[in-house]
Structure 1
Amino acid sequence: MSTKFHKLIYYFITLLITGFVLIMFVIYPGINNDKHSMFADMIYGKASKPFVYRTLLPTTVRVLSAAVPQRIKNLLAKKIEKTGTLSKLFSKLKWEKEYAVEYSFAMLLMFLSLWGFALAVRKYFTLFYHAPPWFAGSVSVLALLGLPPMFQYTSFLYDFPLLFLYTLGLIFLFRQDWKNFMLFFLIGCFNKETTILLTLIFYIYYRKKLNREIFNKLIAAQLAVFIVVKSLLFIVFKNNPGTFVEFHLIDHNLRLLTGYDLTLAVSLLGIILLVFYKWKEKPEYIKISLWAFVPLIALTLFLGYIDELRDYYEIYPSVIVLVSVSIADIVGLDIRKLKAL
């Protein structure tokens, strides 16, 4: 079969699975389960801090929706109200019918972000390994199918853009494509503050590899972008309810330390073993990218839900690549490690 046909099959399968994962994302646990980050409040900048700071997708939806005449929005809401199936679906999902246009744009953007992530993680894999096209494509499939077990408590509008933008950041950072890296770093900062973890990876990996002047300029540029974006968001949303961060050590995480879910523990152990399988042979860059886990787990212990796996999405692309390589080696598939840049 031709390469073009293989690509069409790959795109079809990943599009299909992307749709399936997105449906699961909005059904369980759903995007309207947290009173501090309700959909309409996120879109129109009324959500609580710190959620309202993650404004990339919400603002994009608001801009796109503003281009749709109110008359059309009203007609669509009435159409949904009169269509039994659609009305029941909106009720089940806890979606307000008057925001049907906004939900439609949000679904489209989340779909594109998730599919973009699937394509990006395949590219990330091929930066380091040469493998049969079907196996490289299976990395995308594994990345998509690995997400639903991580959907806990609530779903956030910025989750899939985070996966997409952060993976692109890892790719451009490794390729030393500084123009695109800084562009997507800037965009990523408007999506979630953990984009700054790319700076940690940059520092560890390039501190002895780059010319000192270039290194210092790039570090300064990243810090400047992050500070400016965070300051701007702080000013824009200074009157919103909530605090800069949420504290969950006492009300949630300490209880978890006295007990654990056996299934989750066994699953995580299996993943850890695959990640560290033949560790010395794994690419240096990917191993360094896992250093992002250190600040993530430290912050999550105090400010997040330590058992909420979506809090660790920043290391997910690298974990997927390492697990895929280990599986290939265990089953005897010949994949060739490429030389680092």
Structure 2
Amino acid sequence: MPADTVHLSPSNTATTGRGMSRAASAFLLFAFFWIVAAAAFSGFAGKWGLRDGDPRFGVAAMLENAAHKPFVYRQLVPDLARRLDAAASERLKERVAKRFRPDEVFAKSQPGDTPGERFRYAIVYYLSFLSLLGSLFVLRRILLHFNVSPLAAILAPTAFALSFPYLQTVGGYFYDTVELLFASLAFLLALRGRLLVLAALVLVATLNKETFFFVLPALYPLLRQRFTRRMAWCAVGLLVALAGLMNVALKFAYLDAVGGALEFHLMTNIEAYFSGNPYFRVETTYGLVGPSRAFVGTLVLLGIVLWRAWPLAPRLVRRHLAICAIVNLPLFLAFCATGELRNLSTTFTGLVLLVAFLIDREASLRTGLRAPVPETQASPVLKETRQA
């Protein structure tokens, strides 16, 4: 046998084959999620752009620190764009400006005239898209933790992502997808008991949107699976305190900005919801006339998912969603524009879980196969084994 010949045993060949198969599967999953995220993000960009040209919350105003309160507090992505712009060469900016032409596709896009303006716009644009893409992978990992079938773990995030532009009714912003990524990451980190990483995430997520601390109380049932009751409550309290401190720092940093820290809509919303006006409104999404605000069809759809999937969900998920509702619904009624469904964001991770449980149930009914049993009270050791 020549000296440079490598002999592969059957076991080595099998191992290599499995490795290549896993790599191929990962690539296919990435390609599929990329297409899904691109389609969903295009639905958002075509509908809202980056709120270009609006002096209160448009992307140019955000990048120039000139937006009104409370929008000006949401500086994570604009600050990254400014820092990358300062570090990038003029040649790179010119190349990006030449190739990046969203205004040729979306009528509402106004990326600017100079290479610097287009470069900053591109950073915001792609960070928003990549956040949506990343959230699909995080949501899939969460679903697999709950013993959802591999197919449902792909289909449920896909269905939610494609529905997301419909939830961005009345308004939609580039930081919505970043918020979705951080909320799902917080859910996953709480499930795994990674408190230090979760604390760091809270600081960054609050810089993206100052209301992130409303996500944190609903993490208690997840942390309770890993820690004692006292430890779980202390962890939630510490996380809320960290988010609150970041919030105070943001308020002081933009104390002189135009506008108010909150917009109060309680009486307007009560009148609107009792009048029935928000239930039959329409707007254009994906280039087609579709539901707007609290459209009756949207509410029926969400009601059916909740009705059918709630009994299938483990107690952990039900408690999480119950806390989300207790925290989010009063805030939604008091401070959000009428029917602005994107502001129910604390419930979105739980909603994806319900959709996945429902997919598995429907598949089992149609095929006669037993649906996977969602993981509920498995020990931390067993959870770590499954994750490995």
Q: TM-score, structure 2 length as denominator?
A: 0.78
**Residues 123-272 of structure 1 mapped to structure 2, 5 A cutoff:** 123-131=141-149, 133-203=150-220, 210-211=227-228, 214-215=231-232, 217-251=234-268, 254-259=271-276, 260-262=278-280, 264-272=295-303
Tell me which moved more, 93-102 or 247-256. Answer: 247-256
The answer as to 2:83 corresponding to 1:63 is yes
Secondary structure of the residue aligned to 2:48 is coil
**Residues 1-341 of structure 1 mapped to structure 2, 5 A cutoff:** 2-32=21-51, 34-69=54-89, 73=93, 88-89=104-105, 92-98=108-114, 99-131=117-149, 133-203=150-220, 210-211=227-228, 214-215=231-232, 217-251=234-268, 254-259=271-276, 260-262=278-280, 264-277=295-308, 279-290=310-321, 291-332=323-364, 334-340=371-377, 341=379
Say whether the 8 Å CA contact 1:29–1:153 is kept in structure 2.
no
Unaligned runs of 5+ in 1: none
**Cα displacement (A) at 1:35:** 3.5
**Cα displacement (A) at 1:307:** 0.8
Q: Distance in 1 between matches of 2:309 and 2:43?
A: 34
Q: TM-score, structure 1 length as denominator?
A: 0.87
Tell me which moved more, 3-12 or 102-111. Answer: 3-12
State the AA in 2 paired with 1:299: L
Secondary structure of the residue aligned to 1:244 is coil
Larger CA Rg, structure 1 vs 2? 2
Work out which structure has the larger RCO, using CA pairs closer than 8 Å and 6 or more positions apart in sequence.
1
Unaligned runs of 5+ in 2: 1-17, 281-290, 380-388
Say whether the 8 Å CA contact 1:26–1:155 is kept in structure 2.
no
**Cα displacement (A) at 1:239:** 0.8
1:242–1:270 Cα change, 3 Å: same
Say whether the 8 Å CA contact 1:32–1:94 is kept in structure 2.
no
How many residues matched?
336
Q: Distance in 1 between matches of 2:90 and 2:24?
A: 43
Say whether the 8 Å CA contact 1:161–1:191 is kept in structure 2.
yes
Secondary structure of the residue aligned to 1:32 is coil
Secondary structure of the residue aligned to 1:11 is helix
Say whether the 8 Å CA contact 2:156–2:355 is kept in structure 1.
no
Say whether the 8 Å CA contact 1:113–1:160 is kept in structure 2.
yes
1:236–1:278 Cα change, 3 Å: closer
